[in-house]
Structure 1
Amino acid sequence: MSIGELAERAGVTVKTVRFYSDRGLLPEAGRSTGGHRRYAPEALGRLRLIRSLRTLDLPVPEVGRVLDREGALEDVIAGQLKELGSQLAALRWREAALQLLRDCTAEERVDRLRLIGAVATPPSTAPMVRFWRQVLPARLPARLFSSIVEAAVPQPPADPTPAQVLAFARLHALTSEARLGHCRPESHCQGKDPAVLYDGLAEAYGLAAPDLRARARPYEGAALDCFVAAHARFHRTRDTPAFRSRLSGLLAQSADSVMDGYWQLGAELSTSAEPTLGATDDWLRAALDSQVDQAAR
């Protein structure tokens, strides 16, 4: 077939056929004595396949991968779905952000615009991860760091509400600009193994989680005993009434407004019924304080 015959049968322009030929997607069978392109019969099916792939907005290089390598179509589809999902997430975020700016006062709009403008689209959790690198001890094993970050860093909702956009933007600002105070751990971890503490805390949080889900009031029990035991092992001492009283005071001194704000905003972003690590830690501290107060009476 000539280039004109191929274009007519495929329902495209000669310019389109020439474009795909020049990019190596549509090989020529040869040239006429006058130098005009000639195509084999199978070129028609190949051209129709190219058109079908292009209607899915596949880039030309991706179309070439599909044509040249058997089985490449599945990889290309997976990649395009991932990219499309990212684009849709960005659009949903922008929509909620615009709604947030629309439904506020002029005074609020300036501050909200500043907060939202600092967040990438789609939003990234990188500032939160960097924040936890500062908060957690440097010598903490990678397995513990990963598990804590996974539990502590809220993911941006797939379909956020305007309120969630605001909470995420505030959390982004808090972790980007944080000036850490008592929540910095290195001073009380000097010469000690932080894994001893954080492994014990993970166990205590697991024991306390059912009580938090049931909205039970803080009380003495296995979760509190595990919580105190983790701190006692870390401080290389025994769990005694005197230690519990001292621990209650130490934990009160370590309270930090940055961390309080972090957990509050994280809870606003959470789409799970599971309590946050911050809420669980507060529950256990309250149980300890209550026990110490009763013992002092």
Structure 2
Amino acid sequence: MFMADLWSIGELAERAGVTVKTVRFYSDRGLLPEAARSTGGHRRYGPGALDRLRLIRSLRALDLPVPEIDRVLRREDTDTGADALEDAVARQLKELGTQLAALRWREAALQLLRDCTAEERADRLRLIGAVATPPDTTALARYWRRVLPRGLSTRQIRWIVDAAVPQPPAEPRPAQVLAFARMHALATMPCPAGGSDAPPPADARDHRPAVLYDGLGEAYELAAPALRRGGAPQPGEALDCFVAAYAGAHGDRDTPLFRRRLVRRLATLAHPVMDRYWQLAGELADPATPTLGAAHDWLRAALTADPA
């Protein structure tokens, strides 16, 4: 290519509709290779630089960072060029989704603070300020791993944590922001001196917790349809499975006497912190997916109404 066929940095900038500073910026970062240098050391660009510059501007208009654009351009002329662009777009969409979630959460939090009394505002501000934006469920998951009894398998811990930790809504209402902040405060509050963390919805002192939690998981699934349609607690397969889980954990049998004892025992296991946790979780959960706490309370009510 003859030097006469090349463009100066000013000519390229004019053809692309950008400033000389913009062309120099991309050139200095290796995104816009020079075709040659003049005898005076000035940069010269070929016609292909105009297409490359337009592509860079299009990618920047999508807010792709310069390092991401560099990866796309390096693979543009290879078989993986389309994959590189697809990967970059996917990463940008994920990042944008995170930003939008943070903005929606912040908006709901501001509405919450706007629509409360002066007396409530300081406490709510403290609760909201302790939660990341967008909110993170790490503290809730850590809490559950701490209070679950020993002897559970990795599989059991995973399903319990997944079911017990509600995901923050994509478009939260102000009340849901407050519910999540209060739940976060419960999960991160220091353990009282000489005390212990709040117990999970089952008794951590059972002889065989692995047997108990497998049985409870099955019982909760069986009770879920009745909970979704608002059915009253009643005897049936779900309750039988619930009782069998406790009986199996103690090497006992499901008898009328065992059921009466279990009613009394479950009453002693009630814990205000855990009750509050499940109440707050219910405000965040999908109505089509009852919380473990709601299922446990439904089964306990069914047992209390008909212990025989």
Normalising by the smaller structure, the TM-score range is: over 0.9
Structure 2 residue matching 1:67: 3-state secondary structure: helix
Per-residue CA distance 1:158-191 (angstroms, 9 max, x = gap): 11111111111111111111644562678614xx
**2:94 is equivalent to residue 77 of structure 1:** no
Given that residues 66 and 76 in structure 1 are in contact (C-alpha distance below 8 angstroms), is that contact kept between their aligned partners in structure 2? yes
Structure 2 residue matching 1:38: 3-state secondary structure: strand
| Counterpart selection for 1:283 from 298, 303, 307 | 298
Structure 2 residue matching 1:188: 3-state secondary structure: coil
Per-residue CA distance 1:184-214 (angstroms, 9 max, x = gap): 678614xx43221111111111111122222
| Counterpart selection for 1:112 from 100, 109, 124 | 124
**2:168 is equivalent to residue 133 of structure 1:** no
User: Which residue identity does 1:105 align to in structure 2?
Assistant: T
Per-residue CA distance 1:119-158 (angstroms, 9 max, x = gap): 1000111111011112212321111111112211111111
**2:4 aligned residue:** none
For 1:211-250, what aligned pairs fall within 5 Å after superposition? 211-250=226-265
Between the aligned partners of 1:209 and 1:186, the Cα distance in structure 2 is 21
Q: How far did 1:53 drift?
A: 1.0
**2:70 aligned residue:** 64
**2:205 is equivalent to residue 188 of structure 1:** yes
**1:43 aligned residue:** 49
Between the aligned partners of 2:59 and 2:299, the Cα distance in structure 1 is 58
User: Which residue identity does 2:205 align to in structure 1?
Assistant: H
**2:103 is equivalent to residue 91 of structure 1:** yes
Given that residues 222 and 238 in structure 2 are in contact (C-alpha distance below 8 angstroms), is that contact kept between their aligned partners in structure 1? yes
Given that residues 212 and 246 in structure 2 are in contact (C-alpha distance below 8 angstroms), is that contact kept between their aligned partners in structure 1? yes
Given that residues 263 and 279 in structure 1 are in contact (C-alpha distance below 8 angstroms), is that contact kept between their aligned partners in structure 2? yes
**1:271 aligned residue:** 286
User: Which residue identity does 1:103 align to in structure 2?
Assistant: D
**2:36 is equivalent to residue 21 of structure 1:** no
RMSD over aligned Cα atoms? 1.6
User: Which residue identity does 2:181 align to in structure 1?
Assistant: A
For 1:248-267, what aligned pairs fall within 5 Å after superposition? 248-267=263-282
Between the aligned partners of 1:182 and 1:118, the Cα distance in structure 2 is 21
| Length, aligned pairs only | 291
Per-residue CA distance 1:205-254 (angstroms, 9 max, x = gap): 11111222222222222111111111111101111222112211221111
| Counterpart selection for 1:154 from 154, 166, 169 | 166
User: Which residue identity does 2:236 align to in structure 1?
Assistant: G
Between the aligned partners of 1:119 and 1:244, the Cα distance in structure 2 is 42
5+ residue gaps, structure 1 = none
5+ residue gaps, structure 2 = 1-6, 76-80
Structure 1 residue matching 2:289: 3-state secondary structure: coil
**1:10 aligned residue:** 16
Identity over the aligned pairs, expressed in percent?
69
* Structure 1 segments (4+ residues) deviating >6 Å: none
Given that residues 3 and 14 in structure 1 are in contact (C-alpha distance below 8 angstroms), is that contact kept between their aligned partners in structure 2? yes
Between the aligned partners of 2:214 and 2:142, the Cα distance in structure 1 is 21
User: Which residue identity does 1:157 align to in structure 2?
Assistant: P
**2:154 is equivalent to residue 142 of structure 1:** yes
